[in-house]
């Protein structure tokens, strides 16, 4: 298959097009604006719908409207814009219709900066919008994986009538990598039995709403969402493992943090440390049982994230205190270097950490003297 | 006298379901609903219509029309309508919104839907207060008017002035048909129905964004009887919100019904 | 030409006794029926004397589409139809 050099954001956009995207509604925000710009040309070229909305608020509600019609629709944004979309996501979830959202995460909170981060894990995985609703969250670690997960996201959203979020970060959005794009799938507008696309003389009227005024009906709705979630937990967990066969230690990281950690794991192996990498690809549903199994046979776990320890809590939940869990994180848009993670792996493997401590507190103390910020490229030798 | 097809002058529109509405007695939401149902039935459009219900007293509008309907978050109906119309361009998409939904939280969405010239129809109910939540001040509350959040009467110094939505939207080039009518007496109800008809014709013929603002009553929160409320509209509201056509694009002006 | 003769039916299921029709009726032949309650507890409107012309203004102002209006087509009108 042909391999081409593509920028992450544009590859994500083209992958969605090839998955049969019929409508895109978005708003500019760094570092994902290229998705909007690419589709502003590509969608009209193919006769499909594109609107640059008045805000992310407008965009997610346009997505909501088009999703009610049963077509493949998505938006993309970055952290502050995704916050604006939370109301819309809750409504889409309560209405039980499919939609896809890409979050190219940046440093925060607040306006933050435009550098890559993973600070929205909790928002994506554990809530965001109000109310009890589950959602599928996919975390690519490369441009190719982002392309593959975009194709998958629409299928999952439709199969389960649920929101699928793809959380990338500014690295993946902005970097260029050689990829293979899938074949163009023809647009297949399905007449779902729930879609409000006009009676057209063929059926009774339909209503799509998230209102359940009777609390007992609302409870039934919530339970129905949970039923579907149980199926998803059983069937849709995805992950990647590297060097795990004989591993004594494991590094757990998703997205770019996982990718950086892979380099560190390779280097650690060179140093003779039996460490592997476990990289969740679905952070929701989270691979709880798999990590629980790992904890049964390993001596230590190091969680690496570009945030203050959000996935860390899910790992600790799975580990149930069986083995020490350590944490290493960089914040605010700082991306860790492999040598930082290698240092952490070496510290963990030296057996110097007691089992009853707070991994975040221990890390926080070490962060009083963080690794030095890198020199500009010009001044850096080798 | 035998009742038969020859004798029938008026009956409940087919566009209405059998469900009695939850609106207060005398609330002109019911009149507006009826006019929309009649127009859609007259034009044979019910089968291809999808309505977008707001948050407000008319949140359950979807129970009363015999057409597909979706429920929008507060203020976002024009955005949902945009999403629907862009993927279902041959369907009739309309929103039905009150003054809080359209002119407060939804101000961004309505201005941009009009600016983009989205080919949708908007029915805007102006009753100068927030009805569903118990009668708070709205962007359309008149100066000096008492509401539960302006208990001493709207003080323009601290609470600002009302917004004339139709005049404002008419300044946008994307707007095709923007008019204000009233529902306070039979003559004005007939004029309102004609305007609603033209607003849907605008969409059906692909002539751009159409909005009909309807001065309406809220007897419960105004603390007036239904009949007194009609008087309030006639005597107090029309002078601040004049009736008329604020934007009629040349192509819409040529439409003969 | 004599005025057309009309008559109405007010549906108890929908009428909320708001009196808008009563106020709008040109020959003023409508009032609330105080001897009767609808299932939802309102006194519905009804015509209480002759004089209805079938003008349908009551139906025009009714927020609940509760009124059906009939009008007898007179021989004179039929002849000119």
Candidates B85, B88, B92: best to mutate against A (most CBs of A within 10 A) is B88
Q: Do B26 and C63 touch (CB under 8 A)?
A: yes
Provide the pLDDT confidence category of residue B67 given band limits of 50, 70 and 90.
very high
Contacts of B44 (CB under 8 A, 6+ apart): none
C21 CB neighbours in chain B (<8 A) are none
Residue B136 has a pLDDT of 93
Q: What is residue A380's predicted lDDT score, i.e. its pLDDT?
A: 39
Higher confidence at residue A355 or residue B213?
B213
Is B204 an interface residue toward A (CB < 8 Å)? no
For residue A91, what is the enclosing H or E element? Answer: helix A86-95
Assigned token pair, A106: 């940046």
Please answer yes or no on whether B23 and C63 come within 8 Å at the CB atom: yes
Query: How much is the mean pLDDT over chain A?
Result: 93
C13 → chain B, closest CA residue: B20
Chain B CB contacts of A94 below 8 Å: none
Percentage of chain B exceeding pLDDT 90: 96
Q: Which residue of A has its CA nearest to B61?
A: A207
- What's the rounded Cα separation, in Å, for the pair C15 and C11? 6
Strand A176-179 relative to strand A4-7: parallel, antiparallel, unpaired? antiparallel
Q: What percent of chain A shows pLDDT beyond 90?
A: 89
pLDDT at residue B109, rounded to an integer: 97
Note the pLDDT of residue A362. 85
* Two tokens, residue A184: 């163009």
pLDDT (tens digit per residue) in A292-326: 999 999 999 999 999 999 999 999 999 999 999 99
Q: Give pLDDT tens digits for C6-54.
A: 999 999 999 999 999 999 999 999 999 999 999 999 999 999 999 999 9
Alpha carbon of C63: minimum distance to chain B alpha carbons (Å): 4
**CB-based contact B245:B209 (threshold 8 Å):** no
pLDDT band at A379 (very low <50, low <70, confident <90, very high): very low
Q: A21-34 pLDDT, tens per residue?
A: 999 999 999 999 99
As a three-state string, the secondary structure of chain B is CCCCCCCEEECCCCCECCCCCCCCCCCCHHHHHHHHHHHHHHCCCHHHEEEEECCCHHHHHHHCECCEEEECCCCCHHHHHHHHHHHCCCCEEEEEEEHHHHHHHCHHHHHHHHHCCCCCEEEEEECCCECCCCCECCCCCCCCCCECCECCCCCHHHHCCCCCHHHHHHCCCCEEEEEEEECCCHHHHHHHHHHHHHHHHHHHCCCCEEEEEEECCCHHHHCCCHHHHHHHHHHHHHHHCCCEEEEECHHHHCCCC
CB of A162 closer than 8 Å to CB of A98: yes
ipTM: 0.93
Q: Mark whether B and A touch (3+ CB pairs within 8 Å).
A: yes
Instruction: Give dist(CA A12, CA A138) in Å, integer.
Output: 13
pLDDT of residue A127: 83
Tell me the residues of chain C between 21 and 80 that have a Cβ less than 8 Å away from chain B.
23-24, 40, 42, 54, 56-57, 59-73
Can you give the pLDDT at residue A374? Answer: 63
Question: Is B236 an interface residue toward A (CB < 8 Å)?
Answer: no
pLDDT band at C81 (very low <50, low <70, confident <90, very high): very low
pLDDT tens-digit profile of B130-178? 999 999 999 999 999 999 999 999 999 999 999 999 999 999 999 999 9
CB contact under 8 Å between B20 and C42, yes or no, is no
Are B71 and A205 inside 8 Å of each other by CB? Answer: no
Confidence of residue A382 (pLDDT cuts 50, 70, 90): very low
Question: Residue A228 burial by CB count (10 A; 0-12/13-18/19+): exposed, middle or buried?
Answer: middle
Q: Tell me what pLDDT residue A378 has.
A: 47
C57 chain-B contacts, CB cut-off 8 A: 186
Q: Does B95 touch chain A (CB under 8 A)?
A: no
Tally of CB atoms within 10 A around B121: 29
The verdict on a CB contact (< 8 Å) between B26 and C20 is yes
Pairing of strands A163-169, A136-138: parallel
Q: What is the mean pLDDT of chain B?
A: 96
B20 neighbourhood in chain C, CB within 8 Å: 13-14, 40, 64
pLDDT in tens, A57-94: 999 999 999 999 999 999 999 999 999 999 999 999 99
Query: Which pTM does this prediction carry?
Result: 0.90
Q: Give the pLDDT band (50/70/90) at residue A128.
A: confident
pLDDT per residue over A216-252, tens digit each?
Answer: 999 999 999 999 999 999 999 999 999 999 999 999 9
């Amino acid at each position: 298959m042909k391999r081409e050099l593509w920028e992450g954001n544009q590859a994500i956009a083209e992958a969605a097009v090839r998955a049969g995207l019929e409508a895109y509604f978005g708003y500019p925000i760094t570092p994902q604006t290229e998705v909007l710009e690419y589709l502003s040309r590509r969608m009209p070229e193919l006769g499909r719908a594109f609107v640059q909305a008045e805000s992310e608020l407008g965009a997610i509600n346009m997505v909501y409207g088009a999703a009610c019609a049963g077509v493949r629709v998505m938006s993309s944004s970055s952290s502050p814009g995704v916050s604006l979309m939370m109301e819309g996501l809750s409504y889409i979830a309560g209405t039980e219709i499919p939609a896809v959202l890409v979050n190219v995460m940046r440093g925060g909170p607040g306006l933050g900066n435009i550098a890559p981060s993973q600070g929205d894990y909790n928002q994506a995985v554990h809530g965001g919008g109000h109310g009890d609703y589950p959602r599928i969250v996919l975390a690519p670690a490369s441009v190719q994986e982002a392309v593959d997960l975009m194709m998958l996201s629409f299928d999952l959203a439709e199969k389960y009538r649920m929101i699928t979020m793809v959380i990338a970060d500014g690295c993946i959005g902005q970097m260029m990598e050689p990829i293979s794009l899938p074949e163009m799938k023809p647009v297949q507008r399905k007449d779902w039995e729930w879609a409000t696309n006009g009676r057209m003389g063929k059926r009774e009227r339909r209503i799509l709403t998230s209102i359940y005024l009777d609390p007992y009906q609302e409870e039934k709705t919530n339970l129905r969402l949970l039923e579907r979630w149980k199926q998803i937990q059983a069937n849709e967990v995805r992950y990647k493992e590297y060097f795990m066969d004989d591993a004594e230690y494991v590094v757990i990281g998703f997205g770019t943090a996982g990718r950086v950690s892979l380099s560190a794991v390779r280097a650690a192996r060179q140093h003779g440390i039996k460490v592997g990498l476990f990289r969740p690809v679905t952070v929701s549903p989270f691979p709880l049982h798999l990590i629980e199994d790992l904890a049964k046979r390993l001596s230590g776990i190091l969680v690496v994230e570009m945030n203050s320890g959000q996935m860390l809590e899910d790992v600790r939940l799975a580990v149930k205190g069986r083995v020490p869990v350590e944490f290493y994180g960089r914040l605010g848009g700082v991306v860790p270097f492999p040598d930082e993670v290698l240092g952490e792996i070496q510290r963990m493997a030296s057996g110097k950490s007691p089992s009853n401590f707070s991994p975040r507190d221990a890390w926080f103390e070490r962060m009083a003297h963080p690794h030095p910020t890198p020199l500009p490229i010009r001044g850096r030798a080798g | 006298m035998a009742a038969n097809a020859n004798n029938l002058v008026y009956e409940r529109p087919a566009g209405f379901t059998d469900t009695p509405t939850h609106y207060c007695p005398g609330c002109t939401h019911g009149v507006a609903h009826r006019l929309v149902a009649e127009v859609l039935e007259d034009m044979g459009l019910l089968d291809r219509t999808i309505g977008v219900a707001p948050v407000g007293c008319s949140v359950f509008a979807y129970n009363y029309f015999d057409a597909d309907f979706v429920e929008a978050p507060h203020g976002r109906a024009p955005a949902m309508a945009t999403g629907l119309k862009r993927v279902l361009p041959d369907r009739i998409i309309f929103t039905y919104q009150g003054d809080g939904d359209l002119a407060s939280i939804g101000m961004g969405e309505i201005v941009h839907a009009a600016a983009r010239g989205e080919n949708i129809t908007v029915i805007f109910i102006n009753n100068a207060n927030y009805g569903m939540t118990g009668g708070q001040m709205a962007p359309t509350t008149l100066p000096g008017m008492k509401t539960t959040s302006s208990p001493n009467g709207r003080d323009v110094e601290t609470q600002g002035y009302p917004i004339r939505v139709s005049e404002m939207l008419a300044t946008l080039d994307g707007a095709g048909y923007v008019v204000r009518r009233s529902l306070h007496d039979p003559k004005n109800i007939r004029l309102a129905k004609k305007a609603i008809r033209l607003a849907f014709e605008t969409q059906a013929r692909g002539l751009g964004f159409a909005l009909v603002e309807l001065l309406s009553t809220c007897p419960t929160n105004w603390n007036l009887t239904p009949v007194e409320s009609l008087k309030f509209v006639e005597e107090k509201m029309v002078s601040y919100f004049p009736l008329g056509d604020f934007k009629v694009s040349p192509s819409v002006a040529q439409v003969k019904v | 030409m004599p005025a057309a003769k009309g008559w109405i039916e007010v549906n108890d299921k929908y009428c909320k006794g708001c009196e808008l029709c009563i106020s709008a009726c040109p020959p003023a032949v409508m009032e609330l029926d105080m001897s009767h309650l609808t299932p939802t507890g309102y006194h519905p409107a009804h015509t209480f004397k002759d004089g209805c012309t079938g003008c349908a203004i009551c139906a025009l102002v009714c927020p609940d589409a509760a009124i059906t209006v009939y009008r007898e087509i007179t021989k004179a009108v039929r002849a000119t139809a």
